[in-house]
Amino acid sequence: MKISRLEPDASGIVNWPTLSTTKKCVVTVGVFDGMHRGHQAVIQRVVQLAHQQGDFAVVILFDPSPKRVHSYAASHSGAELPDQELRNHEDELMAASERIRLMKQLGVDWVLSISYNLAFAAKSFRYFIGTLVGKLGMRTLVLGRDATMGAGRSGNVQAVEELSQATGVFTLDIVDDAGPGYTWVPQIVHQQVPDGPGEPSDPLVEMSKAEMRAWTKAHACKKVRMWSSSNVRYLLASGRIHAANAVLGHTYAVEGEVVHGEKRGRELGYPTANVSQEHEGYMPVDGVYAGWLVDLGKPRQDSDSDNQSQSDNHTQTLTADPGHDVRLASGSVWRWPAAISIGTKETFASEGKQYERVLEVNAIAGDNWLDLYGHRVRVEFLSYLRPQKKYPDADALVKQLAQDAADSLRIAQESVG
Ligand SMILES: Cc1cc2nc3c(=O)[nH]c(=O)nc-3n(C[C@H](O)[C@H](O)[C@H](O)COP(=O)(O)O)c2cc1C
Ligand SMILES: Nc1ncnc2c1ncn2[C@@H]1O[C@H](COP(=O)(O)OP(=O)(O)OP(=O)(O)O)[C@@H](O)[C@H]1O
């Protein structure tokens, strides 16, 4: 699979690469945050059509997302999203690099990652589609039913279908809403610590219609597809990991670099890898979780240009890092069952000393001593175990940590059958 990073110029024009002089392509467009099962359905359709027609399967990925660019502009007098705001957006479920890795697994031939900005956004959907046909050789455009594109988001599926009929140069293939239907999520999601141990249940499941109406009103809810990134975010904010993973069709994960903590964990007999605040992925609600820790090794430096085959002012062609898949594979020597903590280490807080909220992970590695400082790790969440608690002393916490480790090991082993 090939990946091109494309920077629109000041007037919003993209210098599209030539994919082939002979082959046509099937294209889809979007953000694909989380690469949940709805996104997978759209991309699978692209790959299926491309194979049937002997075309390339192409994903045009908007990174940063249009939503971020436009909401920043709305609150900053129409300004572009500055570079320093680009990384580590706290609401983003998944880094673009991870979305691209999953696209590769689905059989995509080419990802064109566009550095979305206001100049690019100002182009009409007719202009945008015209360039896809003219420059990329697009034969078919695949879209979900609610997709929109172009200035003012005026290119909805109806308008795009009319353009297809009028020009006859491409066809539109619409993917119906995939998944088990619709649900309600609050417009503004506040993290809600579950009342007690174990995976929390769905608050809507046993409600009457009247109760549900009152609940959705009280929480200022919007109706969304079950298979949507908004629903995944809401589920993670409520500790409902099983439900989030069911929507995703893969295990939810946060990635980041391991930094130094207080070094108390080792004394307690439960050393932890502390994940940097600069992590990638939305942080689930405070609590203790069962999951996996994967050592992704030392991060590649920007100067490692072996994955960069061509560049000019507006285009970079990259290839995916194959080492990643090997480390992530089930049964890999870099993967350990893990007890995961998100919280503020209340047991050790005192009047004068409060700790910041951290993600820390006790990898259950037996007698192996893991030196992970400076490595990138991936923390995969399988199940919510319990809320954080202030224990009377370190001994009481250690007893609980032993239980957390035993529970986590069992759940991780069960997850691989
Ligand atoms: C699985 C797990 C569960 C945890 N649960 C709690 C908890 O309930 N209350 C608490 O105060 N700290 C909890 N912690 C955090 C510990 O206090 C922390 O790991 C320890 O102080 C070491 O921190 P350090 O790595 O910064 O030295 C937990 C840590 C892990 C790994
Ligand atoms: N559950 C689903 N069923 C079918 N198509 C979907 C589903 N979810 C998203 N899509 C489609 O996937 C493509 C990419 O979506 P994109 O990530 O840009 O935004 P989205 O529709 O807002 O997704 P989400 O709501 O999950 O953030 C679009 O064509 C969209 O319509």
* pLDDT score of 305: 45
pLDDT (tens digit, 9 = 90+) per residue, 163-180?
A: 999 999 999 999 999 999
The predicted model gives 308-331 an average pLDDT of 69
**Closest ligand to Cα 234:** 2
pLDDT (tens digit, 9 = 90+) per residue, 43-58?
A: 999 999 999 999 999 9
Nearest CA to ligand 1 atom 15: 345
Distance 349 CA to ligand 2 centre (A): 43
Residue 205 exposure: Cα atoms within 13 Å on the Cβ side: 5
More confident residue, 27 or 261: 27
pLDDT (tens digit, 9 = 90+) per residue, 117-147?
A: 999 999 999 999 999 999 999 999 999 999 9
* pLDDT score of 341: 98
* pLDDT score of 301: 60
pLDDT tier at 306 (50, 70, 90 boundaries)?
very low
Pocket test for ligand 2, best of 183, 228, 235 (most atoms within 8 A of CB): 228
Instruction: Please identify, by atom number, the ligand 2 atom nearest to the C-alpha of residue 146.
Output: 31
Alpha carbons 35 and 97: distance in angstroms, whole number:
11
Segments making up each domain of the chain, as ranges: 2-175, 183-238, 251-306+321-417
Q: How far is CA 64 from CA 9, 232, 280, in A?
A: 16, 19, 14
* pLDDT score of 316: 61
Instruction: Please identify, by atom number, the ligand 2 atom nearest to the C-alpha of residue 225.
Output: 1
Pocket test for ligand 1, best of 263, 373, 397 (most atoms within 8 A of CB): 397
End-to-end CA distance of the chain: 31
* pLDDT score of 315: 56
Please give all residues whose beta carbon lies within 6 A of any atom in ligand 1, as ranges: 261-265, 270, 272, 274, 288, 339, 341, 343, 345-348, 360, 362, 388-391, 397, 401, 404
pLDDT (tens digit, 9 = 90+) per residue, 193-215?
A: 999 999 999 988 889 999 999 98
pLDDT tier at 313 (50, 70, 90 boundaries)?
very low
pLDDT tier at 318 (50, 70, 90 boundaries)?
low
Percent of the chain at pLDDT exceeding 70: 94
More confident residue, 321 or 288: 288
User: 194 preceded by cis ω (within 30°)?
Assistant: no
CATH of 2-175, one of 3.30.2290.10, 3.30.565.10, 3.40.50.620, 1.10.3720.10: 3.40.50.620
User: Hey, do 2-175 and 251-306+321-417 end up sharing a CATH topology, with the first three levels equal?
Assistant: no
pLDDT tier at 86 (50, 70, 90 boundaries)?
confident
Distance 381 CA to ligand 1 centre (A): 17
Question: What pTM was computed for the model?
Answer: 0.94
* pLDDT score of 250: 98
**Closest ligand to Cα 353:** 1
Distance 191 CA to ligand 1 centre (A): 20
Distance 88 CA to ligand 1 centre (A): 24
Q: Residue 19 in contact with residue 317, Cβ under 8 Å?
A: no
User: Is 303's pLDDT higher than 60?
Assistant: no
Q: What is the pLDDT of the chain when averaged over all its residues?
A: 92
* pLDDT score of 320: 61
Instruction: Indicate the CATH number for domain 251-306+321-417.
Output: 2.40.30.30
Q: How far is CA 159 from CA 59, 106, 156, 172, in A?
A: 21, 29, 5, 11
Is the ipTM here above 0.90? yes
